[in-house]
Amino acid sequence: MNRMSIQLTTAEVLGLWHNVHLALVRDDEPDLSARQVTILLTVYLEAPPHTVRDLAARLQVSKPVITRALDTMGKLGLVSRRRDEKDRRNVLIQRTVDGALFVERLADTISVRAQELRTDL
Amino acid sequence: MNRMSIQLTTAEVLGLWHNVHLALVRDDEPDLSARQVTILLTVYLEAPPHTVRDLAARLQVSKPVITRALDTMGKLGLVSRRRDEKDRRNVLIQRTVDGALFVERLADTISVRAQELRTDL
DNA sequence: TTTAAATGAAACGGGTCCGTAACGATTCGC
DNA sequence: GCGAATCGTTACGGACCCGTTTCATTTAAA
């Protein structure tokens, strides 16, 4: 893929960050924490398998942080857990249909605000 | 300002969102909630005066939500409050030096990840 | 086989945030 | 002046998250 390089100003990136967060606050979706967002997108953007230990190492946080975030996002239906039958100590974090839709809506929100940003200048 | 329009793919915007959040989780700065981010950037990007009532209306949340977020961000030194002497019912939310530096670092983080995004493709 | 290591979850005390309702302080309208 | 409206805060009970420690389960090593 060959494309024009872009240069974003400070005002542009902050405006994008502001507009997207404002949209996320206003909508009916639950607001995820920064850690939850990072876990969710790691699971949905990167190749499996995903374990608690791997996620903790990647985010540089403790394992209970991952466990708790998975508890909450599990209740929300955004991810699910399954024992690894090959090594039953591991838990594999898996994607769900609702989680995929949630991520898709997030991408739409960001894209829309990015376009608005362009037309506002 | 006249510039080339850009088209971001779903993978690109999600990658940007992921990379920036990962950086925010890993660094030593406290992680702000979506509401706190929105309030902070509203105060720093838009023209004063900013009142509790105005922020609540803009974010479409209740006033106690704003009060609590200002309490927390006040402790962090990111914003400060002052009585409006013209109408002493109002509280004016003001910027701080530390808050300005925080916002500046946020902009840097986003910009860096946006550049990485470009070079990764 | 028996001990050690690894994994994820649970327990704990403390803090923050939630939505709602009630509350003082201040200003406006009559 | 006096009651109504407005503003921001506080109080309440409940839920979630924090970091740390402890635990049960499972696997690997000796």
Q: Which residues of B touch A66 (CB under 8 A)?
A: none
Model pLDDT, residue B1: 47
Residue A63 pLDDT more than 50? yes
Q: What are phi and psi of B48, to 5 degrees?
A: -70, 170
Residue A4's pLDDT band, with cuts at 50, 70 and 90, is very low
- CA-to-CA distance for A119 and B48, rounded, in angstroms? 24
Q: How far is the CA of A59 from the C1' of D15 (A)?
A: 25
Scored b (16 or more CB within 10 A) or e, B80-90 reads eeeeeeeeeee
Residue A59: which of B26, B110, B121 has the nearest Cβ?
B26
| pTM for the model | 0.89
- CA-to-CA distance for B54 and A103, rounded, in angstroms? 30
Shortest Cα–Cα distance, A119 to chain B (Å): 9
pLDDT digits (tens, 9 = 90+) for A89-98: 999 999 999 9
Lowest mean pLDDT among A17-31, A103-117, B57-71: A103-117
Lowest mean pLDDT among A41-55, A84-98, B4-18, B103-117: B4-18
Where on strand D do bases come within 7 A of a protein Cβ?
6-11, 16-21, 25-28
**Sign of the alpha-carbon torsion through A18, B62, B30, A58:** negative
- CA-to-CA distance for A56 and A63, rounded, in angstroms? 5
Average of per-residue pLDDT across B63-68: 95
Residue A114's pLDDT band, with cuts at 50, 70 and 90, is confident
- For residues B40 and B74, the answer to whether their CB atoms sit within 8 Å is no
Q: How far is the CA of A89 from the C1' of D25 (A)?
A: 7
Residue A46's pLDDT band, with cuts at 50, 70 and 90, is very high
DSSP letter (8 states) at residue B75: H
